[in-house]
Structure formats: C-alpha cells, structure tokens
Structure 1
C-alpha cells in the first residue's frame, strides 16, 4: 500500500491552535457565532476546536452542533453503496447567528453544498463560514472556498487524503494514500 504522512500529531496540534486563534480574531466571544461539525468526520475536528477555544483561550461556552447531510446529498439516490446517516444534533437556534461549518477535508465542495441546504431547516443564519483542516484545492467541482484552512494540498485524483483522530483512529495524523489501496 502506497501511503505517505502529510501531517504528524504535533503539526496537527499546531494547525488546530492556529485555526482557533483565527476564529477568535473574527468571532471574539462567540456570543453571535456557532460551530457546526459536518457529520461524520467534521464532528471530530469541531469538538477539538471547541475544546481548544474553551480550554486554551478561555472562550466561554462555545455553541457546538453536528449536522448530518446524508439526505441532502446530490448523489443520495445514485450511489450503489448503502449510505448510513449520522445524527444531527443542533440544540440552539441558528437564526441570525454566524454559523461556522467545520469539516476535515474540502474536496469537490458537494458536501458543503449539501450542508448549506440542510442548515436551512434550522433557521436563517446571518452568515456562514467554512473551516477545513485540509483543502484539496484542485479538486473543486463547485465554487466553494474555505474561510479558514489548516493546510492546502495538491493531490492527484487517484490519491485520497485520510485524516486520523486519536479519539476514533488511535492517532492524530494525516496521510495521503492511493485510492486503489
């Protein structure tokens, strides 16, 4: 299997702190802002960002929700594999709030397009921003760009970016692998 490490645990930690600081610069105390992790993999990143904001930078009570986009995907009925839905948990109003979508990898932009449709069920935000850990910049199919990015990478179409989280995968690391393996 062809695999190379893109970011180590230490590098991931540094990037997460930088992203948290950028959020503080733009959202200050988060009184009008909410974090929404896009299920499934954006949830891990969103939880980490919330933890860093509250425990390293003393931001109080950052609202965090999780959004499942399964039934809003444009390929929902086209996929041969059975899609499994995750749970949506948004226990606050998004009406007139600044929503920060959080996802691990921005690839084609279709997941974010689905998230934009899905969030409308919860109200009308005053603004929506996007934070991603990895931006695969040459893979976009829709005109969607992140407001906050951890690392921009150029990978070819037969490669896949794998984000590993300690809570789920036993380690914090990001790899590039061949899709065939």
Structure 2
C-alpha cells in the first residue's frame, strides 16, 4: 500500500521560490554576471520561475539555460542501454559568471556532481551555487545546497515527488511511503 501526503501546495512552492530569489540577490549583491541553469527536467522550470521572480525584483532579465546531464551520470548503465539525450541549451557564455544551478530535489548528490562535470566542460564560471526546492538528506557525496526551499528529512524508503504544472499538470510536492500489510 502506498501512502501519499502533500508537503507543499502551489502557494507554498511560490513562497519558497520567492524567498530563494531574494536570497540569491542578497548573497550575490544583485544580478551582475548572474546566470541561472536548470537541470533537466524540473530544474529547468524552477530556474525559469526564479528568473521571473528576479526580474520582478530587479527589473532585468537574467540569462537562463538548460543542462542535460544524461551522459555525465555515474549510473548511466543502470538506467538504460540507450539513454535519451535531449541536449543542453545554454546560448550564453558561462566564463567568469556566477552560475546558479537549479534542481528540484537534492538527495544523494550524484545528479549535482554530474551537473558540475557538465558545466565545467562548457566553460569556467567564476563560481557555482546550488539552489534546490527540496533537500531530503542522505548525501553520498560532499555536496551542500546554497539555497533550499524546504528541508524534508526522509527515510530511504520514502520518495519525494515534485510535480509542476509544466510537466505534471499539478503543482505540489508529495511524499510517498510504501507500507506492507
């Protein structure tokens, strides 16, 4: 039996992203040399939303890119014999930029490690910071987010699902736990 509980609704997601946008601007002293890069898939939509919130605050656009880490994953052979590579779309230089890497859930850190490898292959940024909507713990690598929407301690048997309108036609974060009778 699967139990599911809503942790964040649409309004809570919006509030978390607004707070993260303000924290990014405060820590980086504005938007000079700032770029947002979302990790496919949901990180892209979160990066776009952060970009919109930053524009509302600062009155200027921040470049937003899309990063596909498929070929950088250390578990690629476990995922599929024929991985689906969608490609990265970063139509600006990251050389000397302050890159904010955006993802939906931080768990073991392996996705972020792959994203760092992919970014370094593209260019040499001034710095890379990590923004995540959910940090659920259980790191296997020494990776820590700079910006967190919500810390949600979980067990390894639980699953966090970020559902966004652009992908899932729903707007919520849920936790699922499988229980045996």
2:39 match:
38
Determine the C-alpha separation between the residues in 2 that align with 1:51 and 1:87.
23
The alpha-carbon distance between structure 1 residues 7 and 72, as it changes in their structure 2 partners (threshold 3 A), is: same
Deviations 1:152-180 (A, max 9, x none): 01111111100011222222110001368
Q: Output the aligned Cα RMSD.
A: 1.6
Report how many aligned residue pairs link the two structures: 178
Unaligned runs of 5+ in 2: none
1:61 match:
61
1:123 match:
123
2:92 match:
92
Deviations 1:74-124 (A, max 9, x none): 111233575322331001111111111000000000000001110112111
- Cα pair 1:29 1:59 within 8 Å, conserved: no
TM-score (norm 2): 0.92
Unaligned runs of 5+ in 1: none
Deviations 1:27-58 (A, max 9, x none): 2442211110011121111111111111x313
1:76 match:
76
Q: Name the SS for the 2:58 alignment partner.
A: coil
- Cα pair 1:40 1:86 within 8 Å, conserved: no
TM-score (norm 1): 0.92
